[in-house]
Structure 1
């Protein structure tokens, strides 16, 4: 999700660099900047912080499960080695 307020603020600040006597050019520039920024940012396929945090939590849970499974496999392999050595 793109923060439209940030884009509006950036476009407004850039258009304020236009000399005061060129009001129409300033308005046109602000609209063009907004449109260009929105289009460019939408192509980046950005995710929100919330989406990022959710995926990070999923990844952490997956890592924990994988670590637990690895420990279980190691214990089972150790048992098998012990059984083979006892025979």
Structure 2
């Protein structure tokens, strides 16, 4: 669901932003930041891009089918009214 590489990249960038004097105190900061990011992101209701694209395609097909069915119902209603 969440790209682990992106989380690692963000954690690394945050760790690299720590001033050199604090590096000794922040040796475990990258892994800690990664854990915190994963924990917080897992609480969010998000989907992967692939899942989003699949659902978008399903929605497009559903809309097309709905349009076809509406046209068919209109045709049937017209036929019923003509009789």
Q: Which category describes the TM-score, using the shorter chain as reference length?
A: 0.7 to 0.9
- SS of 1:76's equivalent? helix
Q: Max radius of gyration: which structure?
A: 1
Match of 2:68 in 1: 68
- SS of 1:24's equivalent? coil
Structure 1: which 4+ aligned runs deviate by more than 3 Å? none
Match of 1:12 in 2: 12
Residue 58 of structure 1, CA deviation: 1.2
Unaligned regions of 5+ residues in structure 2, if any? none
Match of 1:42 in 2: 42
CA-based RMSD of the aligned residues comes to 1.4
Match of 1:29 in 2: 29
In the alignment, structure 1 residue 82 sits paired with structure 2 residue 47: no
Unaligned regions of 5+ residues in structure 1, if any? none
Residue 6 of structure 1, CA deviation: 1.4
Count residues in correspondence: 83
Structure 1 length normalisation: TM-score? 0.82
Residue 76 of structure 1, CA deviation: 0.9
Structure 2 length normalisation: TM-score? 0.86
